[in-house]
Amino acid sequence: MRVGIIGAGQLARMLEEQASALGIATSVLAQDPDEAACETASEVIIGSADDLDALHTLAGSCDVVTFDHELVDLDLIAALEDAGIDVFPSSSALEFSVDKAAMRERLHQAGLPVPRYSIVPPGVSVDFEAIGDSWGWPLVIKTASGGYDGKGVFVVDAVEEAHRIEHALRDAKRIMVIEEHVGIIKEIAAMVARNAKGDIVSYPAVETVQDNGINREVIAPAEVDLDILESASAIACRIAELIGVVGVLAVELFVTTDGLVINELALRPHNSGHWTQDGAVTSQFENHLRAVLGLPLGDPSMRDAFVCSVNVLGGPEVTSFDPLLADALAIDAKIHLYGKEPREGRKLGHVTASGTDRTEVRARAWAAAAALGTPSAPQI
Amino acid sequence: MRVGIIGAGQLARMLEEQASALGIATSVLAQDPDEAACETASEVIIGSADDLDALHTLAGSCDVVTFDHELVDLDLIAALEDAGIDVFPSSSALEFSVDKAAMRERLHQAGLPVPRYSIVPPGVSVDFEAIGDSWGWPLVIKTASGGYDGKGVFVVDAVEEAHRIEHALRDAKRIMVIEEHVGIIKEIAAMVARNAKGDIVSYPAVETVQDNGINREVIAPAEVDLDILESASAIACRIAELIGVVGVLAVELFVTTDGLVINELALRPHNSGHWTQDGAVTSQFENHLRAVLGLPLGDPSMRDAFVCSVNVLGGPEVTSFDPLLADALAIDAKIHLYGKEPREGRKLGHVTASGTDRTEVRARAWAAAAALGTPSAPQI
């Protein structure tokens, strides 16, 4: 069997590691031969995810096509499907992670908890003053598509600032989503895997720590009441069924004083699930492969009481990990590096620690990340 | 960093999977582009392990060179070392797994437990009758070099048969090792990893089940008295230091009524250590990479009370695993397939099960192997 992956970043690389173990070949569609997954793919196709010919070249040798990223043109994905190619998740499911406006509408209609929102097509003028008076300042303004890792999300405190973002999005012909700024107690994420038969497995919900829109740390399980943990998993299962996900689905949620509110969806392996590689019986990467290949899903149980993963970000002086590896490996943590050129602030890998004491596990993971030059996060 | 691997079989493939996770690139020297590791290596060099130019091409782009197999010419490896290339394990250590005559001599001189043996250069005639009278029949005759997976090892019951083997080895210009046939209660294997600084970590000794010289099953830990477990690990540590191993060392041992007897050595990841991928905190592949790269070694502890791996051998009707994967993955076991063309009796992968009940764990591993078409073993 051969799986085609649109995109060749670290998620594709980690899918490849798991595919190799299962004896499954991989082809990646890479923009650039230097991308993380090219080093280890069995086949690399250089081309753009926006080029139907390149997509057909990828699909031609593969049994199924899946995704490393969601920066795709849904019409092209639908064209692949029309040509009889198995694409998972499908374009109709993927719409809800590619298009935040469609996502908000669909989830709201289904009675799922989302913040108050307003969808504004480019060129339509907005009375920010009225919205701010009603929902309270600050407001959140997002581009409906094309954002990731905190890019394309703006928290604005006043009318003038809101208009500045509005004009920028209008110039870029982007649909704008305006949302209330909910009072966030914690950010958590729930992940499920679903195959085409409709089988679902659910990982325990995790706590995620962000800094400037970049995920810094993930702790499994989230330290919240059991009913919140269960409710987060139930929401993820409900969404997976609602939009027909085949593959893994990560649902980012806010814990607020009024309960859970859905933030974003990702229909692919996700940073909030990296802990599963070392901390769950079956990793998100293995379950994603199993799901898209129509195979039975694996046990999502945790292997330890607490598992913490910390992202390795490029430090100011780090030009290579070679001189840092010895100190990092002396710590009891699993190291995952993506083979990317170190650059300040860039996501270059992650480390995972496991154990029975939450505080000690977190400290150990941060120590390993620090040994690799990762700057400390303000929250820690 | 880049690691060069001489050979491109399944051991190289599994080293690559682990190297990818650590952000380390790999180059393999493959005889044939269809070999298991070629699909996923970052660089494939086609050539023979007996060709010094090919070895230099491999070494040229790598920080260190290591091995997928031991079918190498030690003089060529020594030539690489003389040219200033880091090769681990070194030719002087590797000699003891490549040359069973040298191994027997060195271990015997060091007072380590080996069966009674006699080394016979080609052309020297042997009085098998006298040896048989003294040690008892049957006798074991081995070629000192070039054998693997039971090939090159003969158990002979009578003088005529012994002479037939003797003549065949003489024609092939092979040194012959004659050994007493010890009464085997169990076969076990002990594995250690050692780095150039001399740090050593030791995995618990495992029980190995062979059939016609092919390993069928490995159970960790071995069901033997604690002093035998400890003694097996102590022997492996002693040998690693004695011959200066850098990398992992597997020592195959016989449990006899007279105690432990050393059978074979392997200075590379070994079938008896495949369980460590899913069953130990740090796998043999990760510790081999750490050792040859001069990095600190990882924790070899078991993650479960019992871990069992069963080799996936080609079944009579199996031409592809694609239609079998669903049934196999429905069982709670980890599946490792090497991407090799199925052929009857060929080692194509392994499956690993973990848990708290030895009998149940073994049954689960065998069920997963059977789902992949593996014929059952006579002993089970």
d(CA A15, CA A29): 14
What pLDDT sits at residue B377? 80
CA distance A333 to chain B (A): 9
Are B201 and B170 in contact, with CB atoms under 8 Å apart? no
Q: Is A337 left (phi over 0), alpha (psi -120 to 50) or beta?
A: beta
What pLDDT sits at residue A151? 74
CA atoms within 13 A on the CB side of A232: 32
What pLDDT sits at residue B145? 85
Any CB–CB contact under 8 A between A160 and chain B? no
Any CB–CB contact under 8 A between B86 and chain A? no
The band of B96, judged by pLDDT with boundaries at 50, 70 and 90, is very high
**Which one-letter amino acid corresponds to residue A168?**
A
Q: Does the beta-carbon distance from A349 to B325 stay under 8 Å?
A: no
DSSP B127-140: -HHHHHHHH-S-EE
What pLDDT sits at residue A168? 87
Q: Does the beta-carbon distance from B21 to A326 stay under 8 Å?
A: no
What string of pLDDT tens digits covers the 380 residues of chain A? 999 999 999 999 999 999 999 999 999 999 999 999 999 898 999 999 999 999 999 999 999 999 999 889 999 999 999 999 999 999 999 999 999 999 999 999 999 999 999 999 988 889 999 999 999 999 999 999 876 666 788 999 999 999 999 988 888 888 999 999 999 999 999 999 999 999 999 999 999 999 988 999 999 999 999 999 999 999 999 999 999 999 999 999 999 999 999 999 999 999 999 999 999 999 999 999 999 999 999 999 999 999 999 999 999 999 999 999 999 999 999 999 999 999 999 999 999 999 999 999 999 999 999 999 999 986 64
- For A2, which residue in chain B has the nearest alpha carbon? B322
What pLDDT sits at residue A149? 60
For chain A, positions 323-362, list CB contacts with chain B under 8 A: 325-326, 329-330, 332, 334-339, 349
Taking alpha carbons only, the member of A375, A325, A112 closest to residue A237 is A112
What pLDDT sits at residue A377? 80
What is the ipTM metric for this complex? 0.93
For chain B, positions 208-227, list CB contacts with chain A under 8 A: none
Structure tokens at B333: 């076991």
In sequence order, the β-bridge partners of residue A225 are none
d(CA A98, CA B371): 39
- Considering only CB atoms, which chain B residues are within 8 Å of A324? none
The structural domains of chain B, ordered by start, are 2-87 (3.40.50.20), 116-180 (3.30.1490.20), 184-371 (3.30.470.20)
Statement: residue B380 has pLDDT above 60 = no
Can you list the pairs that B154-158 forms with residues at least 24 positions away whose Cβ atoms lie under 8 Å? B155/B181, B158/B132
d(CA B115, CA A16): 45
Place of tokens 């895997």: A193
For chain B, positions 12-71, list CB contacts with chain A under 8 A: 13-14, 16-17, 20-25, 39-42
* Contacts of residue B70, Cβ cutoff 8 Å, sequence gap at least 6: B94, B97, B98, B148, B266, B267, B268
List the single residue in B303, B322, B329 with the smallest CB-CB distance to A1: B322
Does the N-terminal peptide bond of residue A221 adopt cis geometry, omega within 30 degrees of 0? yes
Statement: residue B148 has pLDDT above 90 = no
- Considering only CB atoms, which chain B residues are within 8 Å of A20? 13, 16-17, 39-40, 339
Q: Does the beta-carbon distance from B325 to A299 stay under 8 Å?
A: no
What pLDDT sits at residue B158? 94
Dihedral pair phi/psi, residue A63, rounded to 5°: -80, -25
d(CA A295, CA A360): 37
- Considering only CB atoms, which chain B residues are within 8 Å of A371? none
- Considering only CB atoms, which chain A residues are within 8 Å of B22? 325, 335-337
Structure tokens at B47: 């050539």
CA distance A229 to chain B (A): 25
Furthest C-alpha separation in chain A: 58
The band of B305, judged by pLDDT with boundaries at 50, 70 and 90, is very high
pLDDT in tens, B172-223: 888 999 999 999 999 999 999 999 999 999 999 999 999 988 999 999 999 9
Statement: residue B378 has pLDDT above 80 = no
For chain A, what is the HEC assignment?
Answer: CEEEEECCCHHHHHHHHHHHHECCEEEEEECCCCCCCCCCCCEEEECCCCCHHHHHHHHHCCCEEEECCCCCCHHHHHHHHHCCCCECCCHHHHHHHHCHHHHHHHHHHCCCCCCCEEEECCCCCCCHHHHHHHHCCCEEEEECCCCCCCCCEEEECCHHHHHHHHHHHHHCCCCEEEEECCCEEEEEEEEEEECCCCCEEECCCEEEEEECCEEEEEEECCCCCHHHHHHHHHHHHHHHHHHCCCEEEEEEEEEECCEEEEEEEECCCCHHHCCHHHHECCCHHHHHHHHHCCCCCCCCCECCCEEEEEEEECCCCCCCCCCCHHHHHCCCCEEEECCCCCCCCCEEEEEEEEECCHHHHHHHHHHHHHHCCCCCCCCC
Q: Does the beta-carbon distance from B329 to A290 stay under 8 Å?
A: yes
